[in-house]
Amino acid sequence: MNWQWLVMLGAGGIAAFLFRRYVGFVIRVHAHSMWPTLRSGQLLFTRSILHGHRIRHGDIAVVQSAELGQRVVKRILGLPGDRLVLDSGGLVRNGEQLTEPYVVHAGDTSGSWLVPEGHCFLLGDNRAASSDSRSWKQSFTPLEAILGRVRARRL
């Protein structure tokens, strides 16, 4: 192999790394926890989250789960300082009942949480089939674990 091929391979690798880090990446959904919003097998284009970019309530995010040892796709419903209460009536954030038309199979989990600084609270839309902040040993996910925000979907 001559040196020109090595240079081209190296440049391609660097370009791929920079694209992934600063632009985004594609991920395939492998579970039913976000159904019907997202379906298993669906491809997602995810916009990378860079330091200082704003994360908003309701964003669908790809997160590196320390507990599960893999990337997961969940909805961000709690940000630092938020007080959350979940019961059969749904989710209340900071005293305000949320309208969540995307939720199916709410399940029977209830609880209350105060999201600490530097963390977020994540839930799946298919609550009865979702492993998320309600059931994880560490209910709160560090903001640094958010890899990206879902921007586009393809079947």
Q: Where are the domains of the chain?
A: 25-154
Q: Is the pLDDT of residue 42 over 90?
A: yes
- The pLDDT of residue 28 is 92
pLDDT(51) > 60:
no
d(CA 125, CA 132): 10
Cα gap 100→117, rounded to integer Å: 25
Task: Give the residue carrying structure tokens 């796709």.
Answer: 73
Phi and psi angles of residue 98, each rounded to the nearest 5 degrees, phi first: -90, 140
Catalytic residue among 40, 65, 74, 112: 74
Residue 33 bears catalytic tag: yes
Is omega for the bond preceding 36 within 30 degrees of 0, making it cis? yes
- In this structure, what DSSP letter does residue 129 have? G
Contact, 74 vs 123, CB < 8 A? yes
Q: Just give the CATH number of 25-154.
A: 2.10.109.10
Strands 70-78 and 83-87 turn out to be unpaired
Q: Does residue 56 have a pLDDT over 90?
A: yes
Global model pTM greater than 0.75: yes
Q: Which of 33, 130, 133, 139 is catalytic?
A: 33
